[in-house]
Structure 1
Amino acid sequence: MRCLYRRLGAFLLLFFMASASAYSDVTVRQITYAGWQNAYQLSNGDVELVFVPQIGRIMRYGPVGGPNMLWNNPTMLGKTASLEAAAKEWPNFGGDKLWPAPQSVWNWPPDPYLDSAPQTVRVLPNHHLLAIGQASPQSGIRFEREIALAPKGDEVTLINTMINTSSKPVKWAIWEIFQANDPLRVYLPTNISGHFAEGYLKMSDTLPSIDRIHGQLVLSRSHTTSYKVGSDAPDILIRALVSGYTVSLTAKPLKGTYPDNGCTMEVYSNPDAAPYMEMELLAPIVQLRPGEQTRFVTQWHLGPPQGP
């Protein structure tokens, strides 16, 4: 029996040593990023990620020492926005963030408490970040994001949580918006057996010429006009070619009713002089009673250039 206990003890020691070693492969430090002090940088030696608490966004994702996959608005670097100013005019910082969907319920501009208000950050023992957003009296919710960088490689996992902070039921979906930095192309899967006759949803009155290859839309940014398309494809995967890399956003499909007539993914293209395209992932709409919460897990990957 003593021998069994000794073996069990040795196994647990090795397990915890291995776990600690994996965590130690990811470094977390506070830096000044693009004029924002006390930003949080995660790095595993392969890729790095930067979260800026003052504006509640991930503002960098890319190879260490390499290009940023996320667009940063050069006119907004180091700046913040008050709740009053953001309620009148959207402060487009760039980066990656969460909004509630559908947009048709709140229209424009976005809820400033959720979009650009300062957030609190905790560094967890496993070297993940927990970003805690502010409760919105307008939408009745707040967001939390657990941000995890894999010990090796390029994978980022985001556990996105929406919590009802109001005194009555609310009905929203979690909506992640990744503003890709002037991509050469974006690939959006279509679904010929879904809700939309052409396999995708035209969300703008006019669209540029769009190619379809191997069941995917091949989207390019228009320099002169904005446009948006959506898809209800069950395989949730959007890819963009940015600065010689392929950045991918993925999620597992969930049961329920999705926003915008069933869209699981959407792509928005912005014209010059703000050269970005949004890769957007959506969760189903849920009704939450006071204090209830729902989660939507998304992942990012970075690799060499890939076609359809």
Structure 2
Amino acid sequence: MQVTFGGHPYLFVNPRLAGKYFPPNSSQWFNYGGDKLWLLPEGNNDEQHWPGNSDLIDDGPFSFRKLSEGRQCEIELTGPADPQTGIQFQRTIRLAGDSPAIHFRASMKNVTGHVVEWSMQSVSQYDTADPRSPSGFNHDLWTFIPVNSSSGYLNRYHVRFGPAQNSAVTVRDDGLFTVHYVHVAAELWLDSTDGWLAVVDGSSKYAMVERFQYEQSKKYPGKASVIFWTNGPEVKLSDDGTPFLTANSDDQPYYLEAELNSPMCRLWPGEACDFETEWFPTRAGEEFHGAADAGILIHPLRATRRDTGKIRLSGSFGAFFLGRLVAHFYNEHGAGLGTLPVADVNPIEPVSLETEIVPPGKPARLSLHLEDENGIDRGSLQELQVAEGDNR
């Protein structure tokens, strides 16, 4: 599967396997790229772990059914029943006409006569090759996700595989966990509860935000709601204890996996559970300061009052919907003073605000909302206090 927005392809497609298909084989892995549904926990410990490779879960043929087309397009994919795990996957993918957003609903059904327990995993492989020179990797590819302030992991994330001291991985002062892609194998687990991650290509200025609903009361596999995998050579030890990197090869192409995990589902025979996720492609910039319901923050909003009574607005954003930005004003007691349209927005172009507006009354607080082309309020991009300016 490939996702293209504004002419920008997001996902990794394995050039060695493009246009090819190999029947399921539990002793090999055919990594075609794109996006996949897998199971957790993974391993070969017992029947309660999925062994991976290109078995029926990973590589089985799915049937295709069109559910709707027009202003809303939706398809349904149904996989084969897997006797080893006892699971059958079904997935619906929906596109609407008012946004480039992609809506997914994954379902797994217990097709056995006994209880099974699994987590579904939505695995997206992002292309990290340098678009100008595909033989090298993109040095400006980043991922972002809010850390859990009450994390069960040391350092608020867990290194499942790869070097523990990894300069490409950091937790910023604003609470965002970041991975700056480098071509070294690493697997990083997070128990993030905010319900979103972002993959940002600083070279092309495109971003993808994946959203999910975190379920606080339920158990996640190994506590992880999100996993990142950076593909590349592995750090190993020789027989004499000397560390070395495995040789680079065609089996270590340039890609990064963003993996969203569902809670563990304990299913009786015939039962099913669902996992809903959303993707929002948009434009990015040279900075990233978070994601909101309506878009991403490239440069945070600033609102400064002038002596004239006008308010100067500045900031830049990537929108998720076609429509307009509307400022909502509140006084010092929280009472609404009114609204004012500020700028038209389109997800295909970054939004840059440098303007002065005449507000209703004397607001103490401002919230910048996005209204889509149907007049539906898609939420706030940012809310902040109005600062007193220096009028320069």
Answering whether residue 40 of structure 2 is matched by residue 97 of structure 1, we say no
State how 1:186-265 maps to structure 2 within 5 Å: 186-207=143-164, 208-209=166-167, 210-213=169-172, 214-223=174-183, 225-242=184-201, 243-254=204-215, 255-260=217-222, 262-265=223-226
Return the offset for 1:197.
Answer: 2.6
The residue number in structure 2 matching 1:266 is 227
2:255 is matched with which residue: 257, 276, 291? 276
Answering whether residue 27 of structure 2 is matched by residue 60 of structure 1, we say no
Partner deviation per Cα, 1:97-154 (whole Å, 9 max, x = no partner) = 1111111353643361111111101000353000001110111001111100121221
CA distance in 1, matches of 2:182, 2:31: 19
TM-score by length of 2: 0.60
Return the offset for 1:221.
Answer: 2.0
The residue number in structure 1 matching 2:83 is 137
**Residue 208 of structure 2 aligns to which amino acid in structure 1?**
V
Partner deviation per Cα, 1:134-189 (whole Å, 9 max, x = no partner) = 11011100111110012122111101101011121111011110101116111132
**Residue 249 of structure 1 aligns to which amino acid in structure 2?**
E
CA distance in 2, matches of 1:212, 1:171: 33
Partner deviation per Cα, 1:53-96 (whole Å, 9 max, x = no partner) = xxxxxx111215x121111000000111112xx21110001111
- 8 A contact 1:81–1:117 mirrored in 2: no
Partner deviation per Cα, 1:220-262 (whole Å, 9 max, x = no partner) = 2222x200111111112111113421111110112310002x1
2:103 is matched with which residue: 141, 148, 157? 157
1:148 is matched with which residue: 88, 91, 94? 94
- 8 A contact 2:162–2:185 mirrored in 1: no
- In angstroms, what is the RMSD of aligned CA positions? 1.6
- 8 A contact 1:189–1:231 mirrored in 2: no
State how 1:37-48 maps to structure 2 within 5 Å: none
- 8 A contact 2:14–2:33 mirrored in 1: yes
The residue number in structure 2 matching 1:175 is 121
**Residue 230 of structure 1 aligns to which amino acid in structure 2?**
W
The residue number in structure 1 matching 2:26 is 87
- 8 A contact 2:27–2:53 mirrored in 1: no
Answering whether residue 61 of structure 2 is matched by residue 118 of structure 1, we say yes
Return the offset for 1:205.
Answer: 4.3
User: What SS does the corresponding residue of 1:198 show, helix, strand or coil?
Assistant: helix
Partner deviation per Cα, 1:266-303 (whole Å, 9 max, x = no partner) = 11100264111101101111110111000010000011
The residue number in structure 1 matching 2:280 is 301
Moved over 6 A (4+): none
CA distance in 1, matches of 2:26, 2:118: 20
| Percent identical residues | 26
Distance 1:267 1:202, change over 3 A: same
The residue number in structure 2 matching 1:33 is none
User: What SS does the corresponding residue of 1:163 show, helix, strand or coil?
Assistant: strand
- 8 A contact 1:192–1:198 mirrored in 2: no
2:19 is matched with which residue: 78, 81, 84? 78
**Residue 192 of structure 2 aligns to which amino acid in structure 1?**
A
CA distance in 2, matches of 1:125, 1:219: 38
CA distance in 2, matches of 1:302, 1:117: 28
| Higher RCO, Cα 8 Å, sep 6+ | 1
**Residue 155 of structure 2 aligns to which amino acid in structure 1?**
E
- 8 A contact 2:147–2:176 mirrored in 1: yes
- 8 A contact 2:30–2:53 mirrored in 1: no
- 8 A contact 2:157–2:188 mirrored in 1: yes
Runs of 5+ in structure 1 lacking a partner?
1-58
**Residue 159 of structure 2 aligns to which amino acid in structure 1?**
K
Runs of 5+ in structure 2 lacking a partner?
129-137, 233-247, 290-392
User: What SS does the corresponding residue of 1:114 show, helix, strand or coil?
Assistant: helix
CA distance in 2, matches of 1:133, 1:118: 6
- 8 A contact 1:120–1:131 mirrored in 2: yes
- 8 A contact 2:91–2:105 mirrored in 1: yes
The residue number in structure 2 matching 1:52 is none
CA distance in 1, matches of 2:34, 2:270: 29
TM-score by length of 1: 0.76
**Residue 287 of structure 1 aligns to which amino acid in structure 2?**
R
